[in-house]
């Protein structure tokens, strides 16, 4: 070509032709919602033409909960009566959408606290197992198999928790152990609760452990039923191992329908963990009834169950998880705040109780 500059000039003109067609963005249209309110439980169904997915933000006091849905369905449980807003978006992409705001009136929240009287239970015996230790909490005081941990530990027991643990928040009555979290001042903290353990008194290697309990609910609550290796004094954490039979993380991006079962151990000095969750059907929360939280633990695995439904299984046969071949003791507590649930807010109800009907260990 004798004049290459002319060729590139023509190419540039063709490539920048302002008349070239550009595909317009076609946003979804006709966004509509159907809302059903049953006490504090809200079911929302959104529809729109041309939507690829939907998103929802349920505003709850100073907090919010984000839900994404392909079919336009979402639900949320409010714990207090009042007026609330929900933002609904019909998306073409994450950044291209139409939206509307819906207002919801909650006039009755149903469950408002207190210890329930119904729920799931498990038997006192199993084939090929023997009951080696239990506490049915039938007396009027805590048995000598438990001791209290007092205070807030080191930096909120490592979790930035906001409560001060003390003995007075534990009572045994009506056949139940009751650990109650309160909004009250103690030793410069704004909340109190209790934490009890069997360390040095009762520890176990393998078996089935059942704990029947009803849980508190709401933003900032963190009840737990868990175990630590009896050798924590010499090995430290996480080398001693940790088995979280049940943790519930109230409010925030979590909810009161979901519990977690997790194992923690040391991986070359770093904390390693493996867990999974078990959720109740929409509308049900763990505070409304008793449930049984269990593990079945042997030389090769730890299985996690809720109401006899297995939802998690971890293989512990490898050398890296040898911590789980040792004795573990039990811990029961209700934390307030912390790095996982966040702080309580103006909608959090105090006081609330974790009620434990029994703890049973079979081997």
Three-state secondary structure readout of the chain: CCCHHHHHHHHHHHHCCCCCCCCCCCCCEEEEEEEEEECCEEEEEEEEECCCEEEEEEEECCEEEEEEECCCEEEEECCCCEEEEEEEEEECCCCCEEEEEEEEEECCCCCCCCCCCCECCCCCCCCCCCEEEEECCCCCCCCCCCEECCECCCCHHHHHCCEEECHHHEEEECCEEEEEEEEEEECCEEEEECEEECCCCCEECCEEEEEEEECCCCCCEEEEEEEEECCHHHHCCCCCCEEEEEEECCCCCCCCCEEEEEEEEEECCEEEEEEEEEECCCCCCCCCCEEEEEEEECCCEEEEEECCEEEEEEECCCHHHHHHHCCEEEEEEEEECCCCCCCCCCCCCCCEEEEEEEEEEEC
Phi, psi of 325 (to 5 degrees): -100, 10
Catalytic residue among 124, 167, 183, 242, which? 242
Catalytic residue among 99, 247, 288, 289, which? 247
* Cβ-count burial 244-273 (b if 16+ within 10 Å, e if not): bbbbbbbbbebbbbebbbbbbbbeeeeeee
Catalytic residue list contains 242? yes
Give all strands of the β-sheet with 29-38 in edge-to-edge order.
29-38, 41-49, 73-77
Active centre residues (catalytic): 242, 247
């Amino acid at each position: 070509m004798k004049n290459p500059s002319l060729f590139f000039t023509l190419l540039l003109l063709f490539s920048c032709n302002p008349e070239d067609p550009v595909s317009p963005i076609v946003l979804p249209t006709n966004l509509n919602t159907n809302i059903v309110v049953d006490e504090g439980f809200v079911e929302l169904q959104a529809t729109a033409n041309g939507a690829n997915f939907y998103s929802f933000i349920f505003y709850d006091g100073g907090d919010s909960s984000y839900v994404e849905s392909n079919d336009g369905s979402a639900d949320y449980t409010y714990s207090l009566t009042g007026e609330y807003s929900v933002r609904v978006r019909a998306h073409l992409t994450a950044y291209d959408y139409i939206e509307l705001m819906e207002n919801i009136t909650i006039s009755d929240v149903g469950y408002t606290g207190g210890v329930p009287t119904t729920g799931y239970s498990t038997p006192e015996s199993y084939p090929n197992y023997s009951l080696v230790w239990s506490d049915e909490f039938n007396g009027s005081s805590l048995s000598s198999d438990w001791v209290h941990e007092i205070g807030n530990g080191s930096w909120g027991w490592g979790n930035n928790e906001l409560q001060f643990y003390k003995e007075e928040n534990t009572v045994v009555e009506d056949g139940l152990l009751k650990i109650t979290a309160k909004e009250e001042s103690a030793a410069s903290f704004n909340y109190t609760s209790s934490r009890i353990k069997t360390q040095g008194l009762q520890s176990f290697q393998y078996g089935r452990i059942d704990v029947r309990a009803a849980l508190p609910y709401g933003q900032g609550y963190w009840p737990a039923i868990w175990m630590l290796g009896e050798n924590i004094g010499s090995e430290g954490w996480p080398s001693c191992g940790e088995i979280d039979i049940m943790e519930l993380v109230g409010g925030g991006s979590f909810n009161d329908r979901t519990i977690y079962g997790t194992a923690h151990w040391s991986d070359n000095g770093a904390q390693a963990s493996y867990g999974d969750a078990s959720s109740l059907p929409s509308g049900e929360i763990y505070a409304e009834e008793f449930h049984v939280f269990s593990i079945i633990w042997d030389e090769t695995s730890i299985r996690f169950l809720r109401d006899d439904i297995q939802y998690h299984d971890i293989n512990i046969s490898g050398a890296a998880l040898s911590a789980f071949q040792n004795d573990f003791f039990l811990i029961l507590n209700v934390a307030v705040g912390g790095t996982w649930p966040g702080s309580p807010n103006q909608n959090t109800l105090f006081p609330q109780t974790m009620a434990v009907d029994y703890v049973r260990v079979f081997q």
